[in-house]
Amino acid sequence: MKVLVPVKRVIDYNVKVRVKADGSGVDLANVKMSMNPFDEIAVEEAIRLKEKGAAEEVVAVSIGVKQAQETLRTALAMGADRAILVVAADDVHQDIEPLAVAKILKAVIDEEQPGLVIAGKQAIDNDMNATGQMLSALLGWSQATFASELDIDGDHAKVTREVDGGLQTIKVKMPCVVTVDLRLNEPRYASLPNIMKAKKKPLDEKTAEDYGVDVSPRLEVVKTAEPAERAAGIKVADVDELIAKLKEAGAI
């Protein structure tokens, strides 16, 4: 089985995000970019499937600006076998919307014929939580979202999902789209030999036009604003003081 893993290049989760002066979005000029953390978990899971013998090949795909090559090299260094970059934007500030991403992924999947897609549940930049679901609809495949456990069993996958009420376990037919949650695994870092090997692994470059997908935005960002600043907290010396303060605040 071939596993396809879409990975997105996003602002690094450690970076203090700044809103652009015109409110059109977040300032991405000269900030550190990394692989979306949920996608790292997806890559890790795909590699583990390969290591267990449940998959033969792991293909990473990224859609966005040319610099997403670096994100793909990270996936290759972790252990993906090859990568496909679909260049769909020149400006780092242009976010390709989930529907366009899902359409491009569908076109890639039609060519690649993977038996499983593992994606992050959402990207930490736009928090859309939509691409995996849209992709499964476009493909007509089953979907299992928010996975915290994944077992492939022949033509079925058993997936434990993190839902509001707790854990839900479902059985879905293969091929399927799985989107992963935070607790599925702890992604590895790449070893030095694997970073060196990744430089020699194939990375194909395509464009959105190659797949005939129009990526022009359908959504309009009206305004982006910084979250309201939180008032500074205080340190309390002991439990008694904590209880007194909570009473004072009318919380208990």
Partner 1 sequence: MHDAAQAGPGAGPAFPEIREEVAKLCARYPSAYWQKLDREGRYPSEFVDELTQAGYLAALIPEEYGGAGLPLSGAAAILEEIQRAGCNGAACHAQMYVMGTILRHGSEAQKRQYLPRIASGELRLQAFGVTEPGSGTDTTSLRTEARRSGDRYIVNGQKIWTSRAEHSDLMILLARTTPRAEVKKRTDGLSLFIVDMQAAKNRGLTIRPIRTMMNHSTTEIFFEDMEVPAGNLIGEEGKGFRYVLSGMNAERILIAAECVGDAKWFTERSASYAGEREVFGRPIGQNQGIQFPVARAYADMRAAELMVREAAALYETGADCGAEANMAKLLAADASWAAAEACVQTHGGFAFAEEYDIERKFRETRLYQVAPISTNLILSYIAEHVLGMPRSY
- Residues of this chain that interact with partner 1 (CB under 8 A) are 34, 70, 73-74, 77, 189-193, 195-196, 198, 232
Q: CB 194 → partner 1: shortest distance, Å?
A: 8
- Quick one: 25 or 37, whose CB is closer to partner 1? 37
Q: CB 237 → partner 1: shortest distance, Å?
A: 17
Q: CB 166 → partner 1: shortest distance, Å?
A: 29
Nearest alpha-carbon partner for 131 in 88, 162, 99? 99
Q: Cα–Cα–Cα angle for 216, 219, 223, nearest 5°?
A: 125
Beta carbons of 177 and 117 less than 8 angstroms apart: yes
**Element at 163 (helix H, strand E):** strand 156-163
CB-count exposure of residue 208 (10 Å: 0-12, 13-18, 19+): buried
Nearest alpha-carbon partner for 125 in 101, 146, 103, 97? 97
Going by their DSSP bridges, the two strands 116-120 and 33-35 should be labelled as unpaired
- Quick one: 24 or 191, whose CB is closer to partner 1? 191
- Quick one: 228 or 232, whose CB is closer to partner 1? 232
Q: CB 189 → partner 1: shortest distance, Å?
A: 4
- Quick one: 12 or 57, whose CB is closer to partner 1? 12
